[in-house]
Amino acid sequence: MLKNDNSNAQDKFVLDNFATCKDCRYVHFPICFRAHWTLVVYDTKTGLWNHYNSMRPRVGLENKHLKEAVFVRDTIIEIQRGAVGVLGDDDATQFGQLGVEAVTDCPQQKHDSYMEDCAIIMCAVMRQYVHHMDVNRSLQGDNCIILRANMVKGFVNDHGRGLKDSA
C-alpha cells in the first residue's frame, strides 16, 4: 500500500492504522519485496528502526531489502509530517527520525530451505517481540518445520477463534 500511486489512499491507509499502534511499544512492518519477506520493527521507546532479513546478502553486495525498509520508514515519516495539522504535534511525530539498522544477529534461512521459510521466520521474530523475548538466532529448535507446526497449533488452539472452539 505504501507504493500506491494514489497518495490519498496511501495517506488514508497509514493514518487509519496510526491510532491502532500509537500506544504500542513495537510497531511491525512486514515487507514482501521480490518474493522475499523481511521485517522492520520500530521501537517507540528508543526510536530505533530494526530490519530483520533471514537471507542477508553476502558481504560487499547491495542490500536491496534494507533499501526497501528505509523506503517504508521514509514513507511513514513523510505521511506523518503531512498530518501534523490533522493529528496534532504529539501524534504526528510518533515515529523517530533515526536510520534503519540491519540486525546481523537474527535467524537465517538455510541455503537449501524453502522460499516460504522467510515468512515463517518473520512471524517467529514478531512472536518473540509480542512475548517480550530476546530476538536472536535461535528460534524454537532452529527448524522452520517446527516453527510452521507451532504456528498451526497456535491457530487451531486459539481460544475463541481457533478450530477447537468452533466445533
Give the pLDDT confidence of 34-93 residue by residue, as tens digits. Answer: 999 999 999 888 889 999 999 888 777 888 999 999 999 998 888 877 776 554 545 444
Average pLDDT of the residues in 111-120: 78
Domains and CATH numbers, the chain: 7-138 (3.40.395.10)
* Most confident option among 30-44, 100-114, 153-167: 30-44
Report residue 63 CA to chain centroid gap.
17
Cβ 119 vs Cβ 125: under 8 Å: no
Rounded CA-CA distance 11/144 in Å is: 36
- What pLDDT score was predicted for residue 141? 46
CA–CA gap between residue 90 and residue 130 (Å, rounded): 25
pTM to 2 decimals?
A: 0.79
Q: Which percentage of the chain shows pLDDT scores above 90?
A: 22
**Distance of alpha carbon 29 from alpha carbon 69, whole angstroms:** 9
Are 102 and 108 in contact, with CB atoms under 8 Å apart?
no
Binned at pLDDT 50, 70 and 90, residue 166 comes out as low
